[in-house]
Structure 1
């Protein structure tokens, strides 16, 4: 029944076999045994596609609910343990993982050596249920609905350049002036060139610029890279200016190697907001998950 659910969710026997680490022929035999046991056809299969029969749709719902109940039973057992054991699968964005979370994860692993830790690093949106992870850590102002959301910290975007670059090319005082500068962008999608700013402090902004006005600038640049550390190295070498999550440039800003720009403006867009830990709602939360979230809350409370 578990294999049947995985086949339906994966959309093919081969993908289910890869996910489960068994051969497609084993998958096929398991499905045949299930159909023989309940004396009903569950799947209509051709060389190109697969679909559930009407009976298969009903059986799939029951089998999926059965697996959910089984997972809750395991969670119930783990939630009552005083000695923290079990597995923990988390997912988080690349830059946040490398520059913030990794030292904390290693401290946790040393503190709880009986926990089997699986760290999935990805910038695309991870679904805790569909991608089979216990915890997703995201930087967002819009947490995934239907999941528990624990705020760990917050992050904002900073526009930075080196003192040498600013001395040579001038310091922008308004977002519209960025069209005169070499702006280093991610380049993953066309909208990465569209930088949006919102007026934050009226005292030093022109009277023509109302508080909370939004300015959108289509920036240009000669260097494009979707890696924050490479982008930071390019800026440090005076190539241009770029946007960074504040945690990515905290040391450089403190040492004045990088200068934050347009402090009267708030950068709008992705890669900023609350740092949120999210996981599925359940009556029984595994103890290793609860302990890890509390561990992160404590470690990040002053960040």
Structure 2
């Protein structure tokens, strides 16, 4: 394809990108200020120029073909580079501008990310923020999100992964619960207690503890099973038993004394632990607004961790 032909299909590439991101010709047309039929014609022209089908169209949904997935990545890089070019001066002078879209799991968003974003917005009055709270794996490329927080021991291939903080599961109980039911000095003592666990997987009530050369597996039982950490925190504060909680969820309640650590001299090897990573597509043209937020989060959480 010659240079002139490439220049002619630049608008078609932008239209294809928006359709792929939004999953709809109508939504893309609304964003681009065009009619759906005009957007559809542009995508068709791009497919003819490339000689491959990029989008499989049905009455219910649109799906990218294998060439479409490849083309989508290149088109997104092209548009990002164009946006970066428009902001060249801004990267060196003055405040970053525009909107940053970031997603995170619910508990992490509420307890860790939200306070940091509030501080970030206070420091950068020319920036806007969209926080997408979702307990599912967000694909930043397909869903048009700038940055994604994911809690995992193994970050996915194909994305840049910046570590933010370690995520640990700890055991907690309310002081009055322990006064009524008795202290817990060894993992096997949990067999006589009501324990709150996730219940998402069959082995979620099998808790493993290690101390030195000793390893202990305990199958716990309890009256309340909940796969939401903030609900388990409320139940622990309410005296319903011993609960496993992410350390960042329990932090404030521990500081206030409404709950206390249990078996903190043992290593609790929970299923749900690892690292919180900040994920984003590899790109040489990182926008200053995203770079500023990445630096803010990594610096703040490095101090906290």
TM over 0.5, shorter chain: yes
1:221/1:197 Cα in 2 relative to 1: closer, same or farther (>3 Å)?
same
Equivalent residue number for residue 197 of structure 2 = 185
1:69/1:181 Cα in 2 relative to 1: closer, same or farther (>3 Å)?
same
Equivalent residue number for residue 292 of structure 2 = 291
1:196 correspondence with 2:207: yes
Q: How far has the Cα of 1:160 moved from its partner?
A: 0.5
Q: How far has the Cα of 1:243 moved from its partner?
A: 0.9
1:171/1:287 Cα in 2 relative to 1: closer, same or farther (>3 Å)?
same
Cα displacement string for residues 21-72 of structure 1 (whole angstroms, at most 9, x for unaligned residues): 749x9445532454368487946756578788xxx86577446523421222
Higher relative contact order (CA 8 A, sep 6+): 1
Q: How far has the Cα of 1:17 moved from its partner?
A: 4.2
1:162–1:238 Cα contact (<8 Å) kept = yes
Correspondence list, 1:5-16, <5 A: 15-16=23-24
Equivalent residue number for residue 234 of structure 1 = 235
Distance 2:63 2:292 in 1: 42
Equivalent residue number for residue 173 of structure 2 = 161
Q: How far has the Cα of 1:132 moved from its partner?
A: 1.6
Q: How far has the Cα of 1:141 moved from its partner?
A: 2.5
Q: How many residues align?
A: 284
Cα displacement string for residues 173-203 of structure 1 (whole angstroms, at most 9, x for unaligned residues): 343443332122334x23473343241x32x
Distance 1:273 1:195 in 2: 18
- Which stretches in structure 2 are left out of the alignment for 5+ residues? 1-11
Cα displacement string for residues 198-250 of structure 1 (whole angstroms, at most 9, x for unaligned residues): 41x32xxxxxxx35x4x444432222333333322221121111111112222
Distance 2:56 2:165 in 1: 49
1:195/1:89 Cα in 2 relative to 1: closer, same or farther (>3 Å)?
farther
- Which stretches in structure 1 are left out of the alignment for 5+ residues? 203-209
Deviates more, 1:134-143 or 1:154-163: 134-143
TM-score by length of 2: 0.77
Correspondence list, 1:117-136, <5 A: 117-136=129-148
Distance 1:87 1:106 in 2: 14
Q: How far has the Cα of 1:287 moved from its partner?
A: 0.8
1:274 correspondence with 2:253: no
1:35–1:41 Cα contact (<8 Å) kept = no
Distance 2:292 2:276 in 1: 18
Cα displacement string for residues 55-112 of structure 1 (whole angstroms, at most 9, x for unaligned residues): x865774465234212222134436512211221111121121112212111111221
2:26–2:35 Cα contact (<8 Å) kept = no
1:264 correspondence with 2:275: no
Distance 1:226 1:99 in 2: 17
Q: Which of 83, 94, 105 in structure 2 is aligned with 1:74?
A: 83
Equivalent residue number for residue 3 of structure 2 = none
1:63/1:293 Cα in 2 relative to 1: closer, same or farther (>3 Å)?
closer
Q: How far has the Cα of 1:161 moved from its partner?
A: 0.7
Distance 1:36 1:155 in 2: 48
1:26/1:226 Cα in 2 relative to 1: closer, same or farther (>3 Å)?
farther
TM-score by length of 1: 0.78
CA RMSD of aligned residues (A): 3.3
Give the secondary structure class of the aligned counterpart of 1:301.
helix
Q: How far has the Cα of 1:253 moved from its partner?
A: 2.2
1:197/1:47 Cα in 2 relative to 1: closer, same or farther (>3 Å)?
same
1:111/1:158 Cα in 2 relative to 1: closer, same or farther (>3 Å)?
same
Distance 2:164 2:147 in 1: 13
